[in-house]
Amino acid sequence: ASAGPQVSRQTVAYASGNLGLSLVSGLLDFFRAKVYLTVFLLSENWFQASQLVAMLWSTLISLAVSHVQDSRLTDRRKWLLYAAPVYALAFSLHWFRWLPAVNIGLQLVLTDLMFQLVDKCVRFAHASLLIEMSSQTATRLSQLWLAQVPYMAACLAVPLANWASADLANLSAFQFCAVLASIVALLSVMYCGWQCRTMYDCRTVNLCHPGGACSAASGLGQPIRLAEPGLLQNLRRLFTDRLFLCVLALKFAHNFHMGFGAAFLPMLVDQLDPPGPGAAMGAGAKSLFYLASQLLPALLFMFCYPCLARAPLADAALLAAGLTVTTGGLFYLAGPELALWQQLAYLLLDGAIVGLNCNLQSLAVVEVADRDRRRWSRDRPMSALIASLYLILASKAFNLQSMLTVHLLAPYIGSGTAPGQSARVGPSGRSVVLGLAGAIPLITGLCELALWLYFRRWRAPPLAPAAAAADPDTLLGCH
């Protein structure tokens, strides 16, 4: 195992793409509802309708785009280079009345349709790079490690934009920040497409070694065959792979847990430290706490890199799931009696472990793609299709979790909450909110423990030294 992460032009380019994606998704997730409900005064019915249309469109377009990327237009670099300008434009259009003669709700629907399409083009191409840039676990782990740095930088965009616009009181200032973020996203995604090379690029064009250093055994100069099966046959093959289904269930359990923290963290903090004259934390302190909850998962993953580089993937994931079960169970039993700092520390620790698990599951998805390629003797993995299926399920887990939590809290939510503000739960619902904060990690953690045990049992054994020496990444040197 290497002593530290491998930093190269390729890994830096991959991390650059993560900067653009994190910047756009962070600002859009945080400000979209708030801008349209409180600034553009969109009705709740229109907003809910736009959500439904976007959800259905996202599912359909995900399968279509991923299939085209895997079977027809397989050059990930071109997708990143050519889609980046439209990606930045579609993001910027969210924040302007660019169709003044049209109802603002219809404008939101049209903008979402365009953004969802180009977002899938960019996101799936970038996700495929983790699978196709290298077949070596150390290189892939280095890609994830370095990608945490731009992610943490992107986390600062939300509080900075909120501060610059005085909590959206100055819309022009916010629009300027959004346009600036779109320019940064455009440049970072284009740089990723310009610099990144996959193993399969090197099999057709000698990009890594212009002087002809690629081995003849790599198939240099021989075109890669397009994937023969259609979309339905590829889906059938994937859903008959028990390892794929195991990781699919892992992603569902993980995103169900992660969704609770992402959507209800402000409500949890307000229950632990109710706003008012006697509050222990002011607005500034709470903002710093929310920022720390976003940065700590990335810092934990970077700190744990030496251990992750040596330990088997399933063993590291089992340890993380065990910590989730332990801390969740303790908080469920004793959470209300703990001191405020202990309760807040638990929320930070739970969020950090969730972030660590997210990266470990990314490596599990990579193993599924490798296994599928070997099992069906494919010329290249179905990277985009596999990534799209996991992203679709992740969004559905998030939506289901939000609906279930709101249903459980509905009897306790106070009336009169203004649009764009977090719902307030009355004192009688405090025990329910804190109970969910312990029960959800406990239940999902137990599910993840069982699934990681199955994963360790069903995964393919490591390559033998002779097979590793003949690996395409070793032959081509595409790092």
Shared domain check, 245 and 172: no
pLDDT at 216: 37
Q: Is this prediction's pTM over 0.75?
A: yes
Distance CA 126, CA 387 (A): 10
Shared domain check, 293 and 165: no
pLDDT at 211: 35
Query: What is the extent of the structural domain holding 57?
Result: 7-201
Shared domain check, 286 and 154: no
DSSP secondary structure string, 322-377? HHHHHHHHHHHHHGGGS-HHHHHHHHHHHHHHHHHHHHHHHHHHHHHHHHHHHHTT
Shared domain check, 132 and 49: yes
**Is 14 a member of any domain?**
yes
pLDDT at 162: 85
Q: Are 55 and 399 in contact (CB under 8 A)?
A: yes
Shared domain check, 82 and 187: yes
User: What one-letter code names the amino acid at 19?
Assistant: L
Shared domain check, 259 and 186: no
DSSP-based three-state secondary structure for 196: coil
**Is 222 a member of any domain?**
no
pLDDT at 453: 93
pLDDT at 117: 93
Give the number of C-alpha atoms closer than 13 A to the C-alpha of residue 226, restricted to the C-beta side: 11
pLDDT at 413: 54
**Is 31 a member of any domain?**
yes
DSSP state, 425?
Answer: B
Residue 429, class by beta-carbon neighbours within 10 Å (0-12 exposed, 13-18 middle, 19+ buried)?
buried
Where residue 432 sits, what CATH number does that domain have? 1.20.1250.20
pLDDT at 435: 86
Shared domain check, 264 and 182: no
Q: Tokens 């703990």 belong to which residue?
A: 338
Shared domain check, 138 and 47: yes
**Is 429 a member of any domain?**
yes
Domain count within the chain? 2
Q: Are 274 and 267 in contact (CB under 8 A)?
A: no
DSSP secondary structure string, 2-35? -SS----HHHHHHHHHHHHHHHHHHHHHHHHHHI
pLDDT tens series, the chain, 479 aa:
456 788 888 899 999 999 999 999 989 888 888 888 888 888 878 888 888 888 889 888 999 999 899 887 778 889 999 999 999 999 999 999 888 877 888 989 999 999 999 999 999 999 999 998 888 888 899 999 999 999 999 999 988 998 888 888 899 999 999 999 999 999 999 999 998 888 877 554 444 433 333 333 334 344 444 445 788 888 898 999 899 999 999 999 998 898 887 767 777 787 788 777 778 888 778 888 888 988 999 999 999 998 888 888 899 999 999 999 999 999 999 888 888 889 899 999 999 999 999 999 999 999 999 888 888 888 888 889 998 998 888 888 877 877 777 677 666 655 444 444 444 555 556 777 788 889 999 999 999 999 999 998 877 544 444 444 444 444 333 43
pLDDT at 102: 77
Distance CA 39, CA 174 (A): 11
Shared domain check, 365 and 255: yes
pLDDT at 111: 92
Last residue of a domain, one of 152, 172, 201: 201
DSSP-based three-state secondary structure for 413: strand
Shared domain check, 271 and 181: no
